[in-house]
Amino acid sequence: MPKDTNLEKILLIGSGPIVIGQGCEFDYSGVQACKALREEGYCVVLVNSNPATIMTDPEFADRTYIEPVTPEVVEKIIIKEKPDALLPTLGGQTGLNTAMDLVRLGILEKYGVKLIGANAEAIEKGEDRLAFKEAMLKIGLDLPQSGVAHTIEEGIKISREIATTTNKQFPLIIRPAYTLGGSGGGIAYNREELEEILARGLDMSPVTEVLIEESLLGWKEYEMEVMRDRNDNCVVICSIENLDPMGIHTGDSITVAPAQTLSDKEYQIMRDASFAVIREIGVETGGSNIQFSVDPETGRMIVIEMNPRVSRSSALASKATGFPIAKIAAKLAVGYTLDELPNDITKKTPASFEPTIDYCVVKVPRFTFEKFPTADPVLTTQMKSVGEAMAIGRTFKEAMQKALRSLEIDRYGFGADGKGKNISISDPAEIHEKIAVPNAERIFYLRSAFAIGMSVPEIFEITGIDPWFLRQLQQIYETEQKIAAGKEFIPMREAKKLGFSDRQLAHLTGKTELEIRAARKSDGIIPTYRLVDTCAAEFEAFTPYYYSTYGDEDEARDSDKKKIMILGGGPNRIGQGIEFDYCCVHAAFALKELGFETIMVNSNPETVSTDYDTSDKLYFEPLTLEDVLNIHEGERPWGTIVQFGGQTPLNLADDLEKSGVTIIGTSPASIELAEDRKFFSSLLDKLSLKQADAGTATSEDEAVAIAHRISYPVLVRPSFVLGGRAMMIVHDDDELREYMRSAVEASPERPVLVDRFLEDATEVDVDVISDGETSVIGAIMEHIEQAGVHSGDSACVIPPFSLSGEMQDEIRIAAKSLAKELKVCGLMNVQFAVKDEELYVIEVNPRASRTVPFVSKAIGIPLAKIAAKVMAGEKLTDLGFTEEVVPEHYSVKEAVFPFVKFPGIDIVLGPEMKATGEVMGIDPDLGMAYAKSQMAASAALPLEGNLFISVKDRDKPQAVEIARDYHALGFSIFSTAGTAQFLEKSGIPVTRLFKLAEKRRPNVLDMIKNGEVDFIINTPSADRSPRADEITIRSTAVANAVPVMTNLRAAQASVMAIKSLQKGALEVSPLQDYHAG
Amino acid sequence: MNALLALEDGRHFQGRAFGSTGTSCGEICFNTSMTGYQEILTDPSYRGQIVTMTYPLIGNYGVSNLDSESNYPHVRGFVIEELCDAPSNWRSEQSLDSYLHDHDIIGIQGIDTRSLTRHIRERGAMKALLTTEDIPAEEACQRAGSSDGVVGMDFVREVTTSETYRWDPDNLLSREWTLVNPANQDSQSDDGNHYHPLPDPDYRIVAYDFGIKHNILRRLRQAGFLVDVVNARTAATDVLAMNPDGVFLSNGPGDPDALGDIHKEIGTLIGKLPVFGICLGHQILGHALGGKTFKLKFGHRGGNQPVKDLRTGAVAITSQNHGFAVDAESLPAGIEVTHINLNDETVEGLRSTNHPTFSVQYHPEAAPGPHDASYFFSEFAKLIEQER
């Protein structure tokens, strides 16, 4: 059946900001969908609040709305655009939920918008636990045995029934009905615990009811990526087996494709079940992800859940197989069938087939617990990772080791790299614990377990990790030991086939990495590049999507074109996310326009950069010196770009250059110079620019001496980091000494920077583009939050709203002169602080910054593209970009945080970045732009209601003015003693609440939990160790989705926003209109 | 121990031996299934062939008696990238290494099977020699070249039953294996395995054994057929004398062109009894109906082949294993091509418009592979019902 010609205009809902559990994989799927639909001639209307996405680039949709993804806002877009259909399945859970809200509110019906891909009934069935359970029972699939009890006796009876059907008495999971977050429940491993938990659960449940369920902890976990078309043709795109068994969120698990330990009989039963599920749930067209659990002892197979949409796993499956699930899903949604669509990779065969792969794919999650030291680091069913790396090898061992070195956590494989000093083999008890309780480092502790002589069965018993995986890991360990002992000769080629990096071999044999490399090359042991071809070489593949392995034949195709290699950013992490991938993608597009052959290197399966469509050639490889040099030696590119992928490629720049790689754009030497304090100070002197007093310390005493000279508070941080890693404001010697001892390892090569901290200064970010001759300001961004909050965590505004014209000119001149002196060719970011009308330079980074996509969308100029062209030798004058664009409208960027995933941790912002993503609010009115940004980021600002305000002493005078404003806006003010007294004195009516410490009720927590607080202003009492009850208030507010402002500037900005919201209705406009003409 | 795989065109691969030792010749072919190595090894259609798996990690879930498609493996050799030395699966009874050793099949691992596959794809199917003995590569390649190969070979003779027998008279071998499921009250269990119960038989058919797979027999019985299995060279008159409700033509090895005498006997049966053929059975039927077969460049072997039913437009993902195909151009009037392979548009199914006769080139019984096409067995039952 060909495409539906009754449709003309299709609305796509994006997934909004990057948060834990919903990352840039939905930009990848959204971009594919946009491209696929426009290819078919449809008019695409897109809504997404995330400016860092490629999908929100104005050329990817006909009408691009960077607006909050809420039902109210989407309704306004529907009224304005009158789309014929809404495709809800490509924007993650956010897209799906918003679409369902629109259905429930009757909005789609009202405006005659048809849901395509999946209908509301199917989405409901897939998403609602009870409906899903019923559907599964109907088609005869197995579910965990369970029963509902109202008394302890009943509970015990149910436990016996479960034992009879499953032949296993314990463990059992007890879930009390209607308790928040399932509190009061637990896992019972024996009769005594069962009775105890039953008693507690029944007591805590308001309806005296508990669900008792068979536990699947430790069972094997699988995922199936399935597609269906309107002719009911179903195919499995990829099967995935989790290394980590049930109990750990699949996003936090190491996963492997294809499934490894299922026989064909078992696999086919799982395949049949997957089709039964997608049919019963009723997903008409598109992709779904279905999760299964398998009892390792009996093979019993239980269906866990299904996602009636494309997911993180479908992005992984697409990258793992070369089958573009989102693209095909979009085409199926408009009426095509699988056999009508070609397989992009082979071109000659149809998409109605099941990819077969002849390699092994391993995905490893990337965690950032170092950012949240008080968060619980145990891995559970709640996802905590912020990114992932994928690697491809001909064997599991090769792929696993490549994946681990792709993580960029300074590990170069499965141990054997001299790293990970905290992982010892001296303490068997610790090793037992670390492999028993799932955590981010468990994979490395498995090596330690082998090292202390534990056997595969023993480790299996403790971890539940399938013996197949353990045996594979053990083989890596055994080979490592043989290499290290040097008694038995292990040919280099054998070691490389098992994925050992040169770094590991160097460590094991006491040589340097480059010595190993030289020896290896002189023996002719170089990697071969293999195609990801969907068909295991059965057909010729046309798409150059490669991975390395040590095989017989190299399939990389050479060409006569001038080539440029772009190094990506690797796994997403806090501080280095989608913004950098955005820049890399733009570089690929821009250089293609100039006629270069573009080569992308990256290891992140979630991204648009690793879509085989983005560049001319894609190498899915770790971003280490060894792997990048290998590709370079094969491809011999004319130039290599390192300034777009964040810190990852920059860290390699020096060594790459030394090995003969031509880095284009700003030279690595310049980039390094900007980090060199001495040079930098003299540079600023030369340009007559000021900076806060500062020094560079290589020891604890030196740091203290500097602090005394420049006086406290001081800002301390290691050099060469992104995202403010380990950056802190310290107030006295004790704090400073503790920081130097515990937080960083200072050394002459990696000194610690100590700066005088400018209190209450306004921070300004500037992006500049330069070709060495001409420099143009991208934008001046004025931060909402005061200096001291990491720029990635603060809201900022284009154009500046409070800086004087003179100050802005001073900033322009300063930024341009810095670009000139640093011989910038490409992008540069400068951070300034303005205090008492004085301009201070905080830092300069001669590379693409996190704000590039935001600025590009605010001003309507693709900065990254222009920068890439400049790096390739074009001049700004030729490209027609010589004048700064100062837009008429306001654009506000707001950061989005993962606090809700780490219950109980403090949400106060500081110099260490914690945001996972960002949103943009755009409007002619500043207040409205800020209001939109808040609405898109988390909880919308209230228009009225109860405000709870409690601030530190120093903030009290200013808080009076702010409280007065909120009172004038119609808010009722609540406060605790200290702040209340201050407000009362100034004549502001305020209701006093008990402090938590007063132990009297009702207190503010009660009000928050009862939904009686609409807004909170709470500034921390001390910068370093805020009181426990403040933290409780703030984290409870986050858990209950009450907006909280933790600094007065944000509170002030909110006044302006609420005023705008009260004044008039929110209006929506597409980017295309903002930048027309 | 070292092992060598030598191809007739001079290319050779060094690897390590597993399974058995010695020297063996056959046609080299590749299979792209990611699971099901045991079913492939024991499929009699692979008689005369050395099989390489494109998926590099083989042996992961071991070997289980239930997964055999005949009484022993038929391949002339097995070529893989990496052998799993410690299989992990609750059903595993034996490692692949020891299984091949027990059945005297030579295996070679540690070779780059993707390079080998690409070579076969480019150069086409060819003869090969697999050895663990100390034979110089050049000589090995020459010996591969002078071996028999597959074209014109009648391997059916080696694999067909010598005597007529009734399949599974005790109803023990045909029950459909399934997973334990407390919610499923119907399933029967013994020896820790679970099965769907069998229906009572409705029809009695004769199956020509050209190298029949157990799962075809199981599926036939599950669809309600009592099956009498006969030797490949049973005369049509003898079959008619058995007075069956229909005739089934099985899969099998070798060149369909080399079985002229069989084509003739089958031709006699058409129109007298409903006939259903699979794989070699389909090719023989093609000949019997007046068509021709030709050798594919490198065959279809895997579990992901898309087949379109030209009558309904539905696409099935199918399990395939064939090196020859029916030539659509050669088919006389009255023969309809019902299915085609979407990858290369070759014939995958045909039927007679005059007689109750149809066949498919692929494997509706799967084992290994997807179950999408399993409905053909009940289609055959329907056809017989109509003819009664």
Listed in sequence order, the residues at least 6 apart from A801 whose beta carbon sits closer than 8 Å to its beta carbon are A782, A890, A926
Contact B115 A262 (CB under 8 A): no
Per-residue pLDDT at A421 exceeds 80: no
Listed in sequence order, the residues at least 6 apart from A370 whose beta carbon sits closer than 8 Å to its beta carbon are A725
Instruction: Tell me the residues of chain B between 263 and 282 that have a Cβ less than 8 Å away from chain A.
Output: none
* Min distance A521 CA to chain B CA atoms (Å): 20
H-type helices in A105-224, by residue range? Answer: 107-110, 120-127, 129-138, 152-166, 191-204
CA distance linking residue A361 with residue A434, whole number of Å: 25
Residue A710: how many other CB atoms lie within 10 Å: 15
Q: Over chain A, what is the mean pLDDT?
A: 93
Tell me whether domains B2-145 and B156-387 share a fold: no
B115 Cβ under 8 Å from any chain A Cβ: yes
Contact A538 B117 (CB under 8 A): yes
Whole-angstrom Cα Rg for chain A: 29
> Residues B315-324: pLDDT tens digits?
999 999 999 9
Dihedral of CA atoms A529, A533, A535, A536 in degrees, nearest 10, equals: 10
pLDDT of residue B150: 84
Per CB-CB distance under 8 Å, the chain B contacts of A227 are none
Count how many Cα atoms sit within 13 Å of the Cα of residue A398 in the half-sphere of its side chain.
24
Contact A299 B304 (CB under 8 A): no
Residue A1026: how many other CB atoms lie within 10 Å: 18
B59 Cβ under 8 Å from any chain A Cβ: no
Per CB-CB distance under 8 Å, the chain A contacts of B308 are 339, 352
Nearest to A339 among B54, B57, B308 (CB): B308
Task: Give the residue carrying structure tokens 């920068």.
Answer: A867
CB of B29 within 8 A of CB of B50? yes
* Min distance A171 CA to chain B CA atoms (Å): 18
Task: Give the residue carrying structure tokens 């437009």.
Answer: B313
Nearest to B56 among A145, A349, A358 (CB): A358
> Residues B111-152: pLDDT tens digits?
999 999 999 999 999 999 999 999 999 999 999 999 988 888
> Residues A32-77: pLDDT tens digits?
999 999 999 999 999 999 999 999 999 999 999 999 999 999 999 9
CA distance linking residue A446 with residue A460, whole number of Å: 10
Contact A264 B342 (CB under 8 A): no
CA distance linking residue A662 with residue A629, whole number of Å: 12
Instruction: Tell me the residues of chain B between 366 and 385 that have a Cβ less than 8 Å away from chain A.
Output: 366-371
Give the mean pLDDT of A631-638. 96
Contact A471 B306 (CB under 8 A): no
Kindly list the domain boundaries of chain B, sorted by start residue: 2-145, 156-387
Contact A264 B178 (CB under 8 A): no
Instruction: Tell me the residues of chain B between 307 and 366 that have a Cβ less than 8 Å away from chain A.
Output: 308, 313-315, 317, 342-343, 366
CA distance linking residue A155 with residue A177, whole number of Å: 14
* CATH number assigned to the domain covering B2-145: 3.50.30.20
> Residues A154-163: pLDDT tens digits?
999 999 999 9
* Min distance A77 CA to chain B CA atoms (Å): 39
Contact A395 B82 (CB under 8 A): yes
In the three-class reduction of DSSP (H, G, I as helix; E, B as strand; rest coil), residue A420 is classed as coil
Contact B306 A395 (CB under 8 A): no
Which carries the bigger pLDDT value, residue B285 or residue A749?
Answer: B285
Provide the number of CB pairs (under 8 Å) joining chain A to chain B.
191
Q: In this prediction, what percent of chain A has a pLDDT beyond 70?
A: 98
> Residues A505-553: pLDDT tens digits?
999 999 999 999 999 999 999 999 999 999 999 999 999 999 999 999 9
Per-residue pLDDT at B236 exceeds 90: yes
Q: In what order do the strands lie in the sheet with A9-13?
A: A63-65, A43-47, A9-13, A85-87, A114-115
* Min distance A358 CA to chain B CA atoms (Å): 4
Residue A381: how many other CB atoms lie within 10 Å: 10
CB of B322 within 8 A of CB of B31? no
Nearest to A231 among B56, B305, B314 (CB): B314
Per CB-CB distance under 8 Å, the chain A contacts of B38 are 263-264
Give the mean pLDDT of A650-666. 96
pLDDT of residue A205: 86
Per CB-CB distance under 8 Å, the chain B contacts of A358 are 32, 54-56, 113-114, 117
Contact B303 A354 (CB under 8 A): yes
Confidence of residue A271 (pLDDT cuts 50, 70, 90): very high
Pairing type for strands B188-190 and B193-196 reads antiparallel
Contact B180 A300 (CB under 8 A): yes
* Min distance A621 CA to chain B CA atoms (Å): 19
pLDDT of residue A731: 87
Per CB-CB distance under 8 Å, the chain B contacts of A298 are 90, 180, 192
Residue A653: how many other CB atoms lie within 10 Å: 22
Nearest to A394 among B66, B81, B315 (CB): B81
Listed in sequence order, the residues at least 6 apart from A160 whose beta carbon sits closer than 8 Å to its beta carbon are none
pLDDT of residue B143: 97
> Residues A363-379: pLDDT tens digits?
999 999 988 888 889 99
> Residues A888-905: pLDDT tens digits?
999 999 999 999 888 888
Give the residue from chain A lying closest to B88, CA to CA.
A468
Per-residue pLDDT at A748 exceeds 70: no
Contact B60 A261 (CB under 8 A): yes
B55 Cβ under 8 Å from any chain A Cβ: yes
Give the mean pLDDT of A1022-1048. 83
> Residues B38-79: pLDDT tens digits?
999 999 999 999 999 999 999 999 999 999 999 999 999 999
CA distance linking residue B66 with residue A569, whole number of Å: 49
Give the mean pLDDT of B343-370. 97
Give the residue from chain B lying closest to A136, CA to CA.
B183
Packing angle, helices A677-686 and A668-675, rounded to 10: 90
Contact B317 A353 (CB under 8 A): yes
pLDDT of residue A381: 86
Which carries the bigger pLDDT value, residue B123 or residue A729?
Answer: B123
Instruction: Tell me the residues of chain A between 810 and 839 that have a Cβ less than 8 Å away from chain B.
Output: none
* Min distance A172 CA to chain B CA atoms (Å): 17
* Min distance A627 CA to chain B CA atoms (Å): 21
Report the DSSP beta bridge partners of residue B177. Answer: B195
Instruction: Tell me the residues of chain A between 846 and 875 that have a Cβ less than 8 Å away from chain B.
Output: none
pLDDT of residue A742: 76
Q: Which amino acid is at B349?
A: G
CB of B29 within 8 A of CB of B113? no
> Residues A857-887: pLDDT tens digits?
999 999 999 999 999 999 999 999 999 999 9
Contact A358 B117 (CB under 8 A): yes
* Min distance A78 CA to chain B CA atoms (Å): 37
B254 Cβ under 8 Å from any chain A Cβ: no
Nearest to A261 among B39, B89, B114 (CB): B89
Per-residue pLDDT at A1023 exceeds 60: no
A268 Cβ under 8 Å from any chain B Cβ: yes
Burial of A704 (0-12, 13-18, 19+ CB in 10 A): middle
Q: Which of A88-97, A586-595, A950-959, B179-188 has the highest mean pLDDT?
A: A586-595
Per-residue pLDDT at A3 exceeds 70: yes
Confidence of residue B192 (pLDDT cuts 50, 70, 90): confident
Q: CA angle A945-A950-A951, nearest 5°?
A: 135
Q: Topology of domain B156-387, per CATH?
A: Rossmann fold (3.40.50)
> A365: part of which helix (H) or strand (E)?
strand A360-366
| Catalytically active residues of B, by annotation | 279, 363, 365
> Residues B291-314: pLDDT tens digits?
999 999 999 999 999 999 999 999
Is the ipTM reported for this complex over the cut 0.95? yes
